[in-house]
Amino acid sequence: MPEPFKKSVVREYFESIVIAVILALFIRTFVVQAFKIPTGSMENNLLIGDHLLVNKFVFGPSASGVERALLPIGTINRGDIVVFKYPEEPERDFIKRVIGLPGETVELREKKVSIDGSVLDEPYVHFLEGPGDASGFHEVISSDLRERYGPVTVPPNQYFVMGDNRDNSQDSRYWGFLPREYIKGKALLIYWSYDDDSFTRTRWSRLLRVIH
């Protein structure tokens, strides 16, 4: 009776390495992505030097039809912080907060955002200079998009996104609506954060902070 086939140690190691690489590539492509905050457009919620994990599974990646067939497409809600391909330079990734959903009318007056005529409550917003009269809108003649914008209606399958640091954010006010297929995932948590590009200046209090 022939002896059962036995794999060599080298082959077993090789197969284990191949499987590990495939799993790592799958996770990187379909499930999670690392992202570093490069600018202050999301301050004070997200800081320069924050390193994030982005959940790509929740919305489903959009690079190809195969990916869309394999993974579910979740619902994008107002307030979600998303990483996406910058429409004017798709090879670059941006991060902003979803403000306007498809079919909604977005308007900005005195730095206050309204959706379909109702002013949003935005406790996460940071201003370099505060908004005007908090009692309501009044007519202001201004060409500054930080003060006044719209009204505009968000087209189907597109979104209006803005940075939390409203006076220092290149967002939908300047380059338009964000197509659904450009959204890569939802920011999940901060896994590491450091100050001034120094490994010795880790912001320990920010580690593992869930992003809202």
Per-residue pLDDT of 41-86, as tens digits, reads 999 899 999 999 998 876 754 445 555 555 556 789 999 999 999 9
Cβ-Cβ contacts under 8 Å for 190 (sequence gap 6 or more): 46, 50, 51, 52, 206, 207, 208, 209, 211
Task: Read off the pLDDT of residues 186-204 as tens digits, 9 standing for 90 and up.
Answer: 999 999 998 866 556 889 9
Sign of CA dihedral 180, 185, 188, 189: negative
Q: Where residue 106 falls among pLDDT bands split at 50, 70, 90?
A: very high
Measuring CA to CA, which residue among 138, 102, 104 is closest to residue 120? 104
The model's pTM: 0.76
Determine the pLDDT at residue 136: 45
* Domains of the chain, first to last: 31-210 (2.10.109.10)
Q: Where residue 4 falls among pLDDT bands split at 50, 70, 90?
A: low
CA dist 145 and 204 (Å) reads 36
* ∠ CA 54-83-193, rounded to 5°: 55
172 has catalytic annotation: no
Determine the pLDDT at residue 75: 87
What is the share, in percent, of the chain residues with pLDDT greater than 90? Answer: 54
7 has catalytic annotation: no
Pairing of strands 209-210, 93-100: unpaired
Task: Read off the pLDDT of residues 126-182 as tens digits, 9 standing for 90 and up.
Answer: 998 766 544 444 444 457 888 999 999 999 999 999 999 999 999 999 999 999 999
Determine the pLDDT at residue 143: 74
* ∠ CA 207-211-212, rounded to 5°: 150
Query: Where is pLDDT greater, at 85 or 32?
Result: 85
- Catalytic: which of 96, 112, 184, 186? 96
The 8-class DSSP code of residue 124 comes to T
Determine the pLDDT at residue 7: 59
Residue 123 predicted with pLDDT over 90: yes
Q: Where residue 40 falls among pLDDT bands split at 50, 70, 90?
A: very high
| Top mean-pLDDT range of 22-26, 31-35, 76-80, 145-149 | 76-80
- Catalytic: which of 41, 169, 172, 193? 41
Measuring CA to CA, which residue among 93, 96, 111, 87 is closest to residue 175? 87
